[in-house]
Amino acid sequence: MDRRHTPIGQKLTELILETFRLNGALISRGDNLVNHIGLTSARWQVLGAVALEGRPLTVAQIARRMGLSRQAVQRVANDLEAALLTTYQENPDHKRAKLVALTQEGEAAYAKADAIQTAWVNAIGKGLDLETVADAALLLRTIHDRCRKEASRESGPNRG
């Protein structure tokens, strides 16, 4: 078996490694940006999923939207409820899968985090080319979609 990368395979590997490093840096920076308002990057991410959807979501829905495990989101959702930033609501479509809803405090915390992020990202973006950033986002989305499709094929009904 030939284990050498093709040229595109090598560049994609470099991009993947840089993405891992960027993910770590973004989580660390996110924690620093919002720690004074009682959030972590994980809490902010879960609040954001509900806020951006504009309606309560189940833990599984949040996990799918954010690319996280259901168990990880459940732990964070429980922490957010304990901090009075979210509340669980009955779900008319599913007896056991409660809906995660923002409280007024949760909405306020998310609004503060969003304002902080807006100022930060605008500063980070100064001098970057808009088309280059758009192309990079499209590339990452394409790779993400291919990874999801591959994982879906691997876990399909004919497997095992």
Provide the residue-wise pLDDT of the chain in tens; the chain has 160 residues: 568 999 999 999 999 999 999 999 999 999 999 999 999 999 999 999 999 999 999 999 999 999 899 999 999 999 999 999 999 999 988 888 999 999 999 999 999 999 999 999 999 999 999 999 999 999 999 999 999 899 888 876 654 4
Report the pLDDT value the prediction gives residue 160, as an integer from 0 to 100.
45
Write down all domains in the chain, each with its CATH number in brackets. Answer: 31-126 (1.10.10.10)
Taking every pair of Cα atoms in the chain, the longest distance, rounded to a whole number of angstroms, is: 58
Burial classification of residue 65, based on how many CB atoms lie within 10 Å of its CB (0-12 exposed, 13-18 middle, 19 or more buried): middle
- Tell me the sheet residues that pair with 37: none
CA–CA gap between residue 26 and residue 124 (Å, rounded) = 12
Report the pLDDT value the prediction gives residue 96, as an integer from 0 to 100.
87
Report the pLDDT value the prediction gives residue 131, as an integer from 0 to 100.
98
* pTM for the whole structure: 0.85
Closest by Cα among 47, 84, 81, 82 to 66: 47
* Sign of the torsion angle spanned by Cα atoms 100, 106, 109, 112: positive
- Residues with Cβ within 8 Å of residue 5, at least 6 apart in sequence: 13
Element (H, E) at 58: strand 57-58
Report the pLDDT value the prediction gives residue 152, as an integer from 0 to 100.
82
